[in-house]
Amino acid sequence: MIDLHMHSTCSDGTLTPEELAAAALDLGLEAAALTDHDTVSGVDRFLSAASGTPLHAVPGVELASMLFNKDIHIVGLFIDPACPSLLSALEQMRLWREARNAEMVEKIRSKGYEITMDEVLAEAGGESVGRPHMASVLLKKGYFQDMQSVFGRLIGRNGSCYVLRKYYPVDVCIRLIHEAGGMAIWAHPLHAAHGARAALRKIGSRLISYGLDGLECYYSMFAEQQQTDALEFACARSLLVSGGSDFHGVSHPQVRMGTGIDGNLAIPFGIYERLLAAKQNRDSHDNEKTC
């Protein structure tokens, strides 16, 4: 089995890149990808930890964008984490995120909650800092009982302290992944934010026109029918198939690495093999054009 969607402490996960690799090995996973939000700072550590082991470690990243007023996440698999254009874009994303975080923290403070940016940064402990880390600080101080309450009241899309995030357009995200030699995968395409099959067709068609390579058809939060719908769309549009748990660790305890929620995931190694073959085929074709 494999898991091609996982997060570490370098974004909003609770295991280090090294701990992720060790956990994947303990579970007997054959392939696993580190796909932190808007950062590749943990990729080399993840690859190094898996080196010399049976685990096929995949360098990845997850980029956030918007399309048709909906949140869109594109996972890049088999990327080069040293790609200059990707690193430059990730640095800009970090600057946008920092400005937004500071504005949100000030809004939270204006509501009477004692929280500082230094506390949020310490809670994050990594390069990609965001709303979950603000929520964690507030939880630890006893202001709220759970993450859902913090997001619902303060920092969710309809919360009183929410600030719109600045994104790169989704076509740019796909281009950046391709420039880094990666395969661009639309993550959790039928999750709650996207709704019905009509949205899958509308958004998917636009993403395909931008060069989308594949669809995350296996996902922890998918019902059986959603998985079927995603697989049928991928097949009909000749897209590659991917899948992963979206594992974060203790911050999302219901989601287990490799097996999802209540064992609803079992992603076969053949998915990884087909993605890798497509990546190698593209590399070979690009080399031929260069020669």
**What tens digit of pLDDT does each residue of 28-38 get?**
999 999 999 99
Identify the structural domains of the chain with CATH numbers, from first to last: 2-89+167-290 (3.20.20.140), 98-155 (1.10.150.650)
pLDDT at 235: 97
Q: Is residue 241 pLDDT above 60, yes or no? A: yes
Task: State the CB neighbour count (10 A cutoff) for residue 251.
Answer: 15
β-partners of residue 267 are 2
Task: State the CB neighbour count (10 A cutoff) for residue 97.
Answer: 20
pLDDT at 291: 38
Cβ proximity of 59 and 43 under 8 Å: yes
Average pLDDT, the chain: 93
pLDDT at 191: 65
Instruction: Return the minimum-mean-pLDDT range out of 25-34, 90-99, 250-259, 280-289.
Output: 280-289
- State the pLDDT confidence band at 290, using cuts at 50, 70 and 90: very low
pLDDT at 130: 83
Mean pLDDT computed over 252-277: 96
pLDDT at 195: 52
75-94 burial, b at 16+ Cβ within 10 Å, e below that, comes to bbbbbbbebeebbebbeebb
Mean pLDDT computed over 173-187: 98
Indicate yes or no: pTM above 0.95: no
Q: Give the Å distances, CA to CA, from 121 to 137, 245, 261.
A: 10, 26, 30
Instruction: Determine the Cα–Cα distance for residues 239 and 242; give it in Å rounded to an integer.
Output: 10
Cβ proximity of 185 and 76 under 8 Å: yes
pLDDT at 198: 85
- State the pLDDT confidence band at 237, using cuts at 50, 70 and 90: very high
Burial of 178 (0-12, 13-18, 19+ CB in 10 A): buried
pLDDT at 228: 92
Instruction: Determine the Cα–Cα distance for residues 137 and 108; give it in Å rounded to an integer.
Output: 12
pLDDT at 193: 46
